[in-house]
Structure 1
């Protein structure tokens, strides 16, 4: 298929109903639209309302509203993972599967050449009889897939997997520092949880990868090459990499309120903290965390959701905290333009949960990186940055998984002190990796991805 034919090859995208999945799918859609491909993006109305401003090519990318059916156990009006606590995601997966009729009708109507999907394991059943090619596009790290979601893992479905089984790397797993330690293994037990009707999370995602034509991962060979080769050998399928598919430099500017506030500080002096759109901390951990920033003595900007039991972040702050940090610290409970905050000259450190999108944004920034992972994939991403690439510092946890204000404060100060050995090491390694992961490399990944698509239908 020649580049000039790209507009004739309509692509249907159908990501899992979570902003952390829909957003990178939309970034990928923009990259494809830039090359002249036409994309129909099927997703719930709430997601469209929140993300349509990210559609840079509205003449090439059209949204199709998916009606999320009501399911017993799913809160009324819930459409995305942001609308439900993690333990209710199972019901959202049931709702996703109940949209199959809508997808079949849409496929019949637009007749796409490709369907790009992740959690809807039944997409190949819809596509294959019509001669449509399917690409299973994963927005998590190759490490997350390789250590858990591979056939060699053989997670049993008739009983819970044991800690001993999880602690043992699957056969053929490459030598790497990207492993879970101690009680962290418990975070992997979620793979045996129900995720849809009569289906575990493990079954859903492995079926999605087994039945597609090509597996795709949002990563770089330079960063996770050994793990990508391992996944390819396990599934006996081609693995196409897209690179990080982050948006181009935005034409939008940072909210004036934050731009003006940050401008009042020295270059590289402000510590920025954000933990993504889904994580809600417990009240005590939230308070411990903000006290850590006070303890550093550095200016800081924290953007977190209100903790459990609080309507706003203001009511959750420790007594006297606001007065003590007045003029040098802000805690905000709303959405902020994370890439633009990281790009501000005054910001010198990013304290992150190491979700995969934030991982790439931190890598491509000039900021020092401090990591406070919470979920299994975030812990594996953290191992990648802190242990393999040595560009970040992971905050030491207490025995019970608690992050103390002392440990977090010390981690921040260790990277912000330009004379410390830790600071020099991560800064030097970070600089080297930024030179490797440059715009030319990322454009090259998109060219290879498109070539792989063309070969699928040639």
Structure 2
């Protein structure tokens, strides 16, 4: 831990993520790493999220949670304060509530007066508000640089409120790195990315919020490193012309506590590296036909597996499992497979010696968890940045394999699931399996090197201190 001299003031950072735990969690992870390097943290969130964040955040004498009172918004039910609690339509209304927080935020910031506010994509109004108070802002992108590169830099000068066509989105922006293995987007990916350009409830689109936030901030912080994404970072730097700070991949600490006896007993009956763990996070949901083909594909591998499936909060998960799984599936796989809905100890399970493959949605935190726990990676991306994360690791880094799918509609069958798993669990002495295994080992050593990972944080603190001393 670093220490301050008598005349040095402790760096104070306000953290302000969007109200979705896919965004809140990376902000919490960064907060914990910064606070261990003598940085004071004030963590902003809607009051309804505070208790859950308290369980994640290391509460030191200089770390505090600032609970915000969300304004009433027509159509947004009371008590809905994160995307985990609601529907996509209500999630859009959370952005309306967030925009209405500006007077409350201004009052709090004028009292706290931190050195920086680290903000998220939705708070595009924050740089100008903070500037009035003499406070610098850092846009913290919790996504890999490749996702930012595909969406923003080459399209900065799009007219406001312009929605491009699917074919326009499929074409990579001007100047996109030639060294990239990505040459264009599929129709499926382009249709998904159209969301970024759409406006809801009269609010700015995600693209317009991103553009305003990137151009208005003092610096940009990205959850990545040059070793993994150097070509995309250079491209972003060239177009945005802002200081680009890096926090690294943010490797999570080992989980506390023990694996539940139920899972320990089940996993321990199988040989080392033989089990497939399949999970898609708490807010990524598969369609009915996808669930059926995935389940049948796992059965087809012949490997033992744990399949974790979740459903939107307004649905009965038990009933949905019964409805969507193939008829007789549970009985057929009872000796080798478990299908579970709800939360599981994912890090503990991935760390178990019997788990050898992690089939996931390619969320970047999940990718890191899989690699550090020595699991081979199979990707089935379903939305947003997951598509680009999958391409980064499977094509650029060649450290995982993506499930083969139709370019037009993303269809995959049970054979596609089985073939992808076999490349990293069975065909390990053949290409491309051999290369993937070797590269996964290389990145595991990189991510588990405590000296390298710690240096990302100490370098970041030094850079923030330097920017803090510059005139606005």
Query: TM-score, normalized by length of structure 1?
Result: 0.94
Q: Is the 8 A contact 1:242 1:449 kept in 2?
A: yes
- Choose from 422, 430, 442 the match for 2:432: 422
CA shift in 2, pair 1:116/1:330, >3 Å: same
Q: How far is the alpha carbon of 1:376 from its aligned partner?
A: 3.2
CA shift in 2, pair 1:195/1:242, >3 Å: farther
Within-5 A mapping of 1:164-313 = 164-175=167-178, 176-178=180-182, 179-194=184-199, 197-306=202-311, 310-312=316-318
CA shift in 2, pair 1:185/1:137, >3 Å: same
CA shift in 2, pair 1:84/1:403, >3 Å: farther
Show CA shifts across 1:84-136 (max 9, x none): 33344321111111112221222122221111111211111221122211111
* Paired positions, count: 457
Q: How far is the alpha carbon of 1:8 from its aligned partner?
A: 3.0
- Choose from 106, 109, 133 the match for 2:108: 106
CA shift in 2, pair 1:264/1:52, >3 Å: farther
Q: How far is the alpha carbon of 1:156 from its aligned partner?
A: 3.7
Give distance in 2, aligned partners of 1:201 and 1:383.
22
339-348 vs 354-363, greater mean Cα deviation? 354-363
Show CA shifts across 1:305-357 (max 9, x none): 03796532542333222211113211111112222221111100000100121
- Choose from 436, 445, 455 the match for 2:456: 445
Q: How far is the alpha carbon of 1:158 from its aligned partner?
A: 4.6
Match in the other structure for 2:95: 93
Q: Is the 8 A contact 1:127 1:134 kept in 2?
A: yes
Within-5 A mapping of 1:120-139 = 120-139=123-142
Q: Is the 8 A contact 1:267 1:348 kept in 2?
A: yes
Give distance in 2, aligned partners of 1:211 and 1:120.
11
Show CA shifts across 1:142-189 (max 9, x none): 111111122545334354202332233222221111342344222211
* Structure 2: gaps of 5 or more residues: none
Give distance in 2, aligned partners of 1:76 and 1:286.
33
Q: Is the 8 A contact 1:97 1:196 kept in 2?
A: no
106-115 vs 139-148, greater mean Cα deviation? 106-115
CA shift in 2, pair 1:158/1:137, >3 Å: closer
Match in the other structure for 2:332: 324
SS at match of 2:15: strand
**Are 1:42 and 2:44 an aligned pair?**
yes
SS at match of 1:54: coil
Root mean square deviation of aligned Cα: 2.1
357-366 vs 217-226, greater mean Cα deviation? 357-366
Match in the other structure for 1:401: 410
Show CA shifts across 1:339-397 (max 9, x none): 22211111000001001211222233311110001113111111101111111111011
* Structure 1: gaps of 5 or more residues: none
